[in-house]
Structure 1
Amino acid sequence: MTGRQLPSRDYLGLKAAFRDLVEAAGGGTRAATRTRGSASLFSRYGAVQEEMQAPLDVVADLEAETGDLIVTRALAALHGYVLVPNPEGVPSAANFGRHLGVLAREAGDVISGLGEALADDGVVSDREARALLGEVREAQEALAHLGSDLTRVADGDGRAIRRKVAP
């Protein structure tokens, strides 16, 4: 792959992510019913010997179909970013007490899981790492919710729920 901005392995990684996406969508034939293109074209998009990549609209359609942002997450990682969903259903008032509880629980799950993984042999296995990734993503989402509420309050678009402190 000449004249490109990134090393070949990065483009091959995107092809691998697209193959995973097609698989998650039920295979090439089923995926072709959910977006434009054909099973043979999807095969070419994922083939290491082909320079062509899947078009963004095809990726968007298949990610919407599967509910999993496989290629988008790979692209974000390629550029050093972590993909975290935007908070949904933002309440009219920020409840920072609730945020503290959620953050403590989610971070505690990560710390506990990591401690358990290290306890037996001092190493995190690939299986343990995959299990921990889900916990880490939940903690990241909790932080994103907090960040959204803090931004709303800082911008004057939201108000914090205040609790009276007993004397």
Structure 2
Amino acid sequence: MRPTNEHDRRDLKAATNRALRKVGAANFAPETRVREAQLSKYGSLGDDENFMPLDVVADLERVLGDPMITAQLAALSGFRLVPDASGTRPLTMAQVGAVADTKGKLLSALIAALLDNHVDPHERRELLPLVRNAIAQLQDLEKALIGGAT
């Protein structure tokens, strides 16, 4: 008998599904070692056999900037994740300025992409790095605030 039950595994599938929907399996596939079709199996609630390998989870969560699947795994063992504030850099005006600059670039690119009410593949390739950069900058800002570094 396995230590995890159907409910536990379904929760893992659901977390995987949410993470893949958030980033988009087609957008994520070039960032990892598996193809979009396999990613879809990992996130499919109807597929009880295929679960995402740990290295692909690490890739996905790094791209997302959110440990959604790891948090679900921790919860299954009775734990919860908290951000690690050790080694954070102090919060600076330069950091705030960089966030504002990135936000401005991202918003401008989003507006330009949505002028025709459609985001095409070329626009997605331009937008994703801006989104990822904004996420990384905001995570650094969050770490600085959690760590109390000023």
TM-score (norm 1): 0.50
* Structure ranking higher in helix proportion: 2
Residue identity over aligned pairs, in percent, reads 39
Post-superposition CA distance 1:76-129 (Å, at most 9, x none): 1111111011213358xxxxxxxxxxxxxxxxxxxxxxxxxxxxxxxxxxxxxx
CA distance in 2, matches of 1:4, 1:48: 19
Structure having the higher Rg:
1
CA distance in 1, matches of 2:50, 2:21: 19
Could you tell me the TM-score, scaled by structure 2's length? 0.55
> Matched residues in 1 for 2:69 and 2:50: separation?
15
Q: In the alignment, is the contact (CA less than 8 A) between 2:25 and 2:39 conserved in 1?
A: yes
Structure 1 residue runs of 4 or more that deviate by more than 4 Å after TM superposition:
none
What is the number of equivalent residue pairs in this alignment? Answer: 93
Which structure 1 residue ranges, 5 or more long, are not aligned?
Answer: 92-137, 147-167
What is the root-mean-square deviation in Å for CA atoms of aligned residues? 2.2
What SS does structure 2 have at the residue aligned with 1:6? coil
Q: Which runs of 5+ in 2 are unaligned?
A: 90-141
| In the alignment, structure 1 residue 31 sits paired with structure 2 residue 28 | yes
Structure with higher RCO (Cα < 8 A, 6+ apart) = 2
Alignment of 1:72-91 (within 5 A): 72-89=70-87
